[in-house]
Every structure is written in C-alpha cells, then in structure tokens.
Amino acid sequence: MADQPLAGKVLVVVGGTTGLGLSAARAFLAAGARGVVVTGREATSASAAIATLGNDAATQVGNATDAGHAPAAIALALARFGGFHGLYHVAGGSGRRLGDGPLHEITDDGLRATLELNLHSVVLSNRAAVKQFLAQGTGGSVLNMGSVLGWSPSPEFFATHAYAAAKAGIVGFTQSAAAYYAGKNIRMNVLAPGLVETPMARRAAADERILKFIATKQPLDGGRIGRPDDCDGAAVFLLSDAARFVTGQVLAIDGGWSVSEGQIPEEIP
C-alpha cells in the first residue's frame, strides 16, 4: 500500500533509542514495518524507547563499537520478528569531549575514539548486515548516517577534524561497498544531515552566535536547526522497495547548508 511503504519489513536501528534513531524507528512503524529493533548504550533510554514504540519494537543495550553488537541485534530481529530486511546505522557523536578539535589540537586518544565511534562502528554494523543478507540470499538495504561536515566544513563553529574525516569516510566506505554488493541486490546509501537538534547539538543550540549563523546557513523553513523528524521521510524511502533502484547515493537533509554561504554574525554584546 502506498501509505505503508515498509509493510512487512523488519529493521534494525543501531543508535535508535534516542534522537534521530528513535524518531526514525517511530516513522518506520507508522510506515508499516512489522518490527523494529533499536539499540543504545543506556538501559534507561532503551526502556523509554519501548514505552514510546510499543509491542512491535525490541531493544538491545550495548556499544555499537563492539563487534558483537550489530550481529546480536540482527539475531534479535530474526528471533522476535522472523526476518531482517534493513539496517539504519545512526550511532555516533561528537568527539569534542574526547579530544577532537582542530587538527593541531587533536589528541591521540581523541583521534582513536572519534574514529572508532563514528566510522569503525559503521563498518562493523554494515558487515553484520551484509553477512546476513548474503546468508539469506534476499538482498536488503543499509542506510548510514553521515554529515554535511564530511564535505562542507564550517571552520568558525564546527572545527572537529577527526569527526569530519569519519563522516567523509562513511561516504567512501558506503559507496565502495554499494558498488561491490549491487549484484547481490544489497543497497547501501547515506543520509547527511546538517545541524539537527539532538543531545549531540546541545552546545550549538545554546550558542546565540551559532543560532544566528544557522539562520542563514540552513535557510529553509525560516532558517532553523533541523528536527529529527526532518530525516524520517528520506529514511523510510531509502529502506523501502520504492528505492529498489537506488544505491551508493548520499542525500543531504541539511536545510540548505551545503549550498548556502552562511554569514558569521558580529559578536553579540
């Protein structure tokens, strides 16, 4: 049915207990998904997610950087809902508090931790999904969370160079894998948001200078920070059969960030 583009699908959302992932999981169920497994690092967030999503969802607590995390989530999807059709990898985050920043300030630990959180975890989850699709012989869809910072930098306000490298790496990795597995009917794509109001964006959302900058850098819809549900429609589409001829693509959901100059405001008195 046109209003149920994910009818019968069973999906895994790595990093799906809060923010962008939770919003997407809610949208997947509304679009007809038979079941959704959402994963996260905190038991309290997982419990809250189930309360929001209901009986057609299951949760798994763990760290996306662990090699066993995604395979276990996929196994849960198979056991609980009897199938596995798509993976949405949302897990990641700023490495600023870990030691990321401008190149000359990045610490060794910050570099390792930021790449592990934002790129290594994607490779691990995608590997698990592809292995399962190959074992099933069914094909399937993988959607990875990138960022416009992977190719459209903002040096004044968002100078975290290891994070940018990780997000650029997601594009190269996804497109390379998409090319390799296209013949197996495994589709792999990337969503690249601009600044979205999530727990990761609290620093930016509380900074009046950044908000003034965003008003012209993300000028759509009056000039604002994105909302998690701004990405939901694209995620539903790319994980549905309506996107059966789409692979290796990067879709920016950025309010115009990547095509807008943006004006750095004067200092606020």
Contact between 156 and 210 under an 8 Å Cβ cutoff? The reply is: no
Conformational region of residue 139, where left means phi above 0, alpha means psi within -120 to 50, and beta covers everything else: left
Strands (E), the chain: 10-14, 35-40, 57-61, 86-89, 140-145, 186-193, 250-253
Alpha-carbon distances, residue 99 vs 11, 14, 106, 116, 145 (angstroms):
34, 24, 6, 13, 22
* Catalytic residue flag (residue 181): no
* Two structure tokens written together for 239: 């994980």
Q: Return the structure tokens found at 20.
A: 């962008």
Residues 6 or more apart whose Cβ sits within 8 Å of residue 172 = none
**150: which 2 tokens?**
């992977």
Nearest to 29 by CA among 247, 236, 215: 236
- Residue 79 identity: A
Taking the C-alpha atoms of residue 19 and residue 23, their distance in angstroms, rounded to an integer, is: 6
β-pairing, 250-253 vs 10-14, is unpaired
Q: 110 CB contacts (<8 Å, ≥6 apart)? A: 95, 98, 99, 100, 101, 162
- Is 259 strand, coil or helix? helix
Catalytic residue, candidates 88, 163, 180, 181: 163
Catalytic residues: 163
